[in-house]
Amino acid sequence: MREQGVDLKQIGLLSLVALPLALKFLWAPLIDRFSPSRRGHYRAWIILFQLSAGLLSGAIAFLDVKTQFGALMGLSLLLCLFSTSQDIATDALAVQILGPNERGLGNGIQMAGGYVGSLVGGGGLLMVLEQVGWRNTMLSLALLTLVALVPIIQFDEMAHSRSQSRIERTGDLGRIYAPLVSFFQRPGLGLWTAVLLLYGLGTSLLWGMLRPFLVDLGLSMGEIGWMLGVVAFGAGGIPAALLAGLVVKPLGDRRALIYVGLFQAVALGSYLLPTWGLRSLPVLYGAAIISQMGMSAAQTVVFTIAMSHSRPQSPGSDYSLQSALIYLSGILAMIVSGFVAEAIGYQGLFGVSVAAALAVVGLIVQRYR
């Protein structure tokens, strides 16, 4: 967009299109309660939202990003809404069809798939964009989105669902949104809510200022993108997600949170090395890989446990509410990170990040059962 002359302020406004990610719990109860088809409650929603996202991506391809920026903003926001809603239905379906012994690996595969998508979308499509232009790139994205419909169209939700009949169908708004309130009223959910808000706090504090830190070390945006968006995802994020998914069940929730939390603290501490003068590329790449491993493993463990706290009668609502808490906490931490770095420097910020990660582990050791 910048190459096509779009103003920097307008480019910054595009961040608003991610707003549905933080607010998706508001309409998740509607997806739990209503369905456009009787042939699979969540399957129907996934097909509808995926199809809508693919067609909308194709429509966006024909916009002039410079002269039709308002339309681009509106359609991009709608695209994020469709994608986020599809995510609600997908997560709810996963809660229903995966048994307790399958959720760890299921979340690991889901997390790894997300990193593969980031590699393809953030790296592959950017290279395609440079070669074939905006319109053809967006049309390619639309085609890939539509092709991804094939597996879910062939999927028989009714044959795999463990609790389809237990979802209450009602038009009463009070009863529809009751799960959002009653979720926090269950025994032990206060501590779990604290874990959701705090477990990734250290990582968010560090990642909020990581790119500026690397820029200040003299790395170009291209080098940073390759390091964090390709190498770290491929060598760190994907294998860590799969490994964490395999071990969370054998370890149990408490030990998994403790062990992965300790690893997360060590991973964050790797970025202290450059602040102590060890700034060679091997050190920076190593820190990028291990910190991505820590974040990926932590997310896999937390989201696996979040599934066990999602009730069969409101899986979309419960899971979306938990993920929204994680997302909102991360946003606030990344906002605060700039002020912390300004006050005590990068080294101080990274030290606070490690301390925050260790403090959460201490809380889990003392209180989590």
Same-domain pairing of 93 and 7:
yes
pTM of the model: 0.84
336 and 217 belong to one structural domain: yes
Q: What is the mean pLDDT of the chain?
A: 87
Claim to verify: residue 91 and residue 189 sit in the same structural domain = no
Residue 343 is part of a domain; what is its CATH number?
Answer: 1.20.1250.20
Based on the fold, state whether residues 308 and 261 are members of the same structural domain: yes
Residues 139 and 212 in one domain: no
Same domain? 231 vs 324: yes
User: What pLDDT shows up at residue 14?
Assistant: 58
- Stretches in the chain below the pLDDT threshold 70: 1-16, 121-127, 130, 161-172
Residues 232 and 306 in one domain: yes
Q: Provide the domain limits for residue 221.
A: 180-367
Residues 278 and 320 in one domain: yes
Q: Indicate whether 205 and 145 sit together in one domain.
A: no
d(CA 335, CA 321): 21
Q: Are 309 and 322 in contact (CB under 8 A)?
A: yes
Determine contact, residues 267/294, Cβ cutoff 8 Å.
yes
Mutual angle of helices 315-367 and 281-308, in 10-degree steps: 110
252 phi, psi to nearest 5 deg: 90, 160
Last residue of a domain, which of 174, 197, 225? 174
- Using the 3D structure, point to which of 139, 174, 209 is the last residue of a domain: 174
pLDDT at 167: 56
Residue-wise pLDDT for 222-235, tens only, equals: 788 889 888 999 99
- Assess whether 124 and 225 both reside in one domain: no
Q: Are 191 and 367 in contact (CB under 8 A)?
A: yes
- CB within 8 A of 118, min separation 6: which ones? 229, 233
43 within 8 A of 127, measured Cβ to Cβ = no
Please give the pLDDT value at position 8. Answer: 46
Amino acid, res. 342: E
Note the helical H segments in the chain: 8-13, 19-23, 28-33, 41-60, 69-97, 103-118, 125-147, 149-154, 157-160, 173-176, 178-182, 189-198, 201-208, 210-216, 221-226, 238-251, 253-269, 272-275, 281-308, 315-367
The pair of structure tokens assigned to 200 is 């990734």
Instruction: List pLDDT tens digits, range 37-73.
Output: 877 889 999 999 999 999 999 999 998 877 787 888 8
Tokens matching residue 11: 């480019």
Mark whether 213 and 145 lie in a shared domain. no
How many structural domains compose the chain?
2
For helices 281-308 and 189-198, the axis angle rounded to 10 degrees is 160
Q: How far apart are CA 312 and CA 307, in angstroms?
A: 10
Radius of gyration of the chain (CA): 21
Phi first, then psi, for residue 363 (nearest 5°) are -60, -45
Residues 90 and 190 in one domain: no
Burial class (CB in 10 A: 0-12, 13-18, 19+), 93: buried
Q: Are 38 and 82 in contact (CB under 8 A)?
A: no
